[in-house]
Amino acid sequence: MTVDNEICRMDALTLAAKIRNKELSAIEVTDAVLRRMEVLEPHIHAFCTPTPEVARAAAKAVDAKIAAGEDTGTVGGVPVGIKDLVSTKGILTVMGSPLYRDFIPDEDDIVVERLKEAGAIIIGKTNVPEFGYSGVGHNPVFPTTRNPWNLALTPGGSSAGSGASVASGVAPFAIGSDGGGSIRIPAAHSGLYGFKASMGRVPLYPGCRDERYPGASGWESLEHVGPMSRTVADAALMLNVITGPDPRDRYSIPAADYNYIDATKGGIKGLRIAYSEDWGYAAVDPEVRRVVREAVAVFERDLGCAVEKADPGWEDPSGIFWALVVADTDLTGLRRMMKGHEREMSPHLVDLLQRPWTAEQFTDARIGRQKICNIMWRFMAKYDLLLTPTLAVPPFPINVQGPEVIEGRMRHWADWLCFTFIGNMTGQPAASIPAGLTNDGLPIGLQIIGRHLDDRTVLRASGAFEAARPWAHKWPSLLAELGL
């Protein structure tokens, strides 16, 4: 078990190098993480569909290539979890819904294709709320995913299982998707780094792009796919593999002219940074305010940035966001599929789909989004980066959609997500980085938002903050309790 623990605490860059140099074999690494998965799954329920046979076969293929002197790829032999909203050929993809309980795709998502080509080892599908329409980790099909930092609490979602798996060291990184914060939410609640690249950097297909699959086909103008990891460099390593255009995604953009790992290096002295603690209107938990303020101070005190407290100036756009979600949804297809199955499905999702939406609501949402985008680009013309809390609250109990009270104020169940979905509406790059812990030892995230297409500065700022305030050595106490 000691050797397993050493392997499972290695970052992806280290694992890839050790496998390439024959210090470790791919099958040795794979067996170590699968044994860890077996120990942890009864506690955290991160993987809805483990794939040990698939993983071992892929690992043996990597080892055979190394023995033959062949190139194994950028992440040859490195384990990865794949969010269960992301299509995997020949592997069950349930999306947390009884409507897709037995669904096995006939093709891989583009990111899965690219990870496999680069030698990554898929160890399983990670759990999600139904179709991703939530920021937590429960659904009607599988056991609820739990936060390794406190098993009574949610790890956040919708990339819930990806967050819990990486936070507990089952894999060094995992694929998440983010239509309103679903990479950054579990990154914040699970003590991880999560990066939502600029719209189009990471192409999506068939998810959001294939009309054959109602439920999976939606959120096209909002959705992103990307890495969740313990270190900034590991996220950059995955970005090197999964970014770049593809004709199957009409939103995809030309590849960046730089290496993403190189982009994480260098100082940020002199950057102009805005800090919005609450958008000027949001209720934010006092512990979140305290931890994030301390993290923001690092940018000015230790990293040499000019930090100014400033709010972009829009009114609460949450209604606009949810109308955009529904406008992007295959409403006809999903309503047809769920007829007669409503009681099996998530009540909040059924409610959203059954509302009498109008064309005027969707048109107003489109115009509202453009207004937000215009406010944001004008605001960002004065700043290199915008910092906010990632979430308005620390992790909260499982099996609820969100806290009813924040900062002593009654709130809608989704109000705790107020900081993340803005980046989906504007398409700007945004990351959640571990800011610190509450007095109860729970992770809090700091969100770093960049200018339009300026992923590079977000990564550089992330790397600089990580160097000043490292976190990868901090692990949930659950691991020690289980002898891991």
340 Cβ neighbours under 8 A, 6+ residues apart: none
Give the C-alpha separation, 225 to 339, whole Å: 30
162 counts as catalytic: no
Residue 360, exposed/middle/buried by CB under 10 A (0-12, 13-18, 19+)?
exposed
Of residues 162, 169, 222, 171, the one with CA closest to residue 196: 222
Give the C-alpha separation, 33 to 119, whole Å: 16
* DSSP assignment letter at 217: B
Using only the alpha carbons of the chain, give its radius of gyration: 21
Give the C-alpha separation, 13 to 21, whole Å: 12
- How many CB atoms are located within 10 Å of the residue 319 CB? 14
Which residue of the set 83, 116, 125, 196 is catalytic? 83
Give the C-alpha separation, 325 to 351, whole Å: 14
- Residue 455 CA to chain centroid, in angstroms? 16
Q: Contact, 445 vs 432, CB < 8 A?
A: yes
Residue 43, exposed/middle/buried by CB under 10 A (0-12, 13-18, 19+)?
middle
Give the C-alpha separation, 158 to 182, whole Å: 5
52 Cβ neighbours under 8 A, 6+ residues apart: 34, 123, 124
Which residue of the set 97, 158, 165, 462 is catalytic? 158
Torsion of the alpha carbons at 283, 285, 289 and 291, rounded to the nearest 10:
-160
Tokens standing for 333?
């297809």
Of residues 28, 21, 94, 15, the one with CA closest to residue 55: 28
Of residues 83, 196, 88, 184, the one with CA closest to residue 132: 83
Give the C-alpha separation, 427 to 199, whole Å: 5
Task: Round to the nearest angstrom and report the end-to-end CA distance of the chain.
Answer: 8
177 counts as catalytic: no
Q: Contact, 295 vs 469, CB < 8 A?
A: yes
Pairing outcome for strands 443-450 and 430-437: antiparallel
83 counts as catalytic: yes
Tokens standing for 66?
């190394």
Tokens standing for 470?
């490292």
Which residue of the set 25, 97, 159, 182 is catalytic? 182
Of residues 264, 276, 274, 79, the one with CA closest to residue 162: 79
Read off φ and ψ for residue 50, nearest 5 degrees: -65, 150
Catalytic residues: 83, 158, 182
